[in-house]
A and B are shown apart, each in its own frame.
Chain A
């Protein structure tokens, strides 16, 4: 997605097994997986469902838009901390319960209060 601006289905499998680059398809682990899907690919190409050009090189956004997407990636992924808005989990966990007298405790379960970083 960062490289093309669009999802390239043909890259899903090789990049999952052979590393996140166009050259992933040449990795032996990816090669094995690709081989097991060869019959599917051949039928898809024969029917005109899958264009060999798109299968090999993918489809891309126009350059100015792809550049904009790359800038967004660089800016967001360059942040030292993630910014998240969680609409379903908010607030603080309950304070740890006081330990009853006579019950041995090493302080386990004394979790620090945490919250989803909510920007509101």
Chain B
């Protein structure tokens, strides 16, 4: 399957292991990625608050670039991008006059967004396009006995109507379903659907770190070996900032946090180092130990 691939900004900035692991995992999932390397930041919802027309224009430009490719749909690996792009697309698709108005801002580049682009986060694409049965059939190293806590964050689960979450598409359960399809054990804990704290880190660092620390502590108390996130901004707060978060909540943490493609890669047979796990601030020792014991235990 060929997709117009939007990696977002952070996966090419402070979480390069996300972009790198997606590139490694894609061929194993029969995904051909056409990278949208001319597209701009989605605005993360912040630009839309400041100036809606600006955010809608920037995202319409990204959508138009995606529509110029021969990808079947657009795929992203950042739930913040998914949330903010869905918000802009909802307006662009709802009103033809408004869409034409926005497209005028793109005219000097010869671009125009046409209503009806399908833009899916990797998580949604895994379940809805690839399918859990196919995913199961590709697993080479089942995540048996690996206890994984899903951390959805905000942008991929709220608001439910805009994000197309309903009985037919229980997208707020997809991470649970994927972990199980990969053979892992899902750990439910208090922070599964809570905010990681990143959006307020520049305004109130202490509160932001406390939020991250509390979720990590809750997952540890529930006996998780690691968390998995569909959002690199959540990863920044939960992994990069984890040493500071530990100080805020006054306890030892040391819980590895994996990007979704990294968890997939482990189950599809890739090694932790290939998936960039050595770049994490919190060394994913429990995951690497698990990986080593599975490989050691495998029949020769």
Contacts from A to B (Cβ < 8 Å): 1, 5-10, 12-13, 16-17, 33, 36-37, 39-40, 43-44, 47-51, 54, 58-59, 61-62, 65, 68-69, 71-73, 75-77, 79, 82-85, 87, 119-120
B2: chain A residues at CB < 8 Å are none
Complex: A1 Cα to B59 Cα, angstroms: 13
Over the window 186-206 of chain B, the binary record of Cβ atoms lying under 8 Å from chain A Cβ atoms (1 yes, 0 no) is 000000000000000111010
| Contacting residue for B52 out of A5, A6, A39, A85, CB 8 A | A85
Q: Quick check: is B61 within 8 A (CB to CB) of the other chain?
A: yes
B243: chain A residues at CB < 8 Å are 39-40, 43
Complex: A69 Cα to B109 Cα, angstroms: 10
Main secondary structure, interface of B, reads helix
Tell me if B54 and A85 are in contact (CB < 8 A). no
Complex: A93 Cα to B56 Cα, angstroms: 26
Residue of A nearest to B54 (CB): A76
Number of A-B contacts (CB under 8 A): 122
Tell me if A59 and B12 are in contact (CB < 8 A). yes
Q: Interface-forming stretch among B27-35, B117-125, B217-225, B277-285?
A: B277-285
A75: chain B residues at CB < 8 Å are 105
A79: chain B residues at CB < 8 Å are 53
Tell me if A76 and B51 are in contact (CB < 8 A). yes
A87: chain B residues at CB < 8 Å are 90-91, 94
B41: chain A residues at CB < 8 Å are 1, 5-7
B164: chain A residues at CB < 8 Å are none
Tell me if B58 and A6 are in contact (CB < 8 A). no
| Contacting residue for A120 out of B43, B95, B201, CB 8 A | B95
Tell me if B98 and A85 are in contact (CB < 8 A). yes
Q: Quick check: is B26 within 8 A (CB to CB) of the other chain?
A: no
B94: chain A residues at CB < 8 Å are 85, 87
Complex: A116 Cα to B139 Cα, angstroms: 51
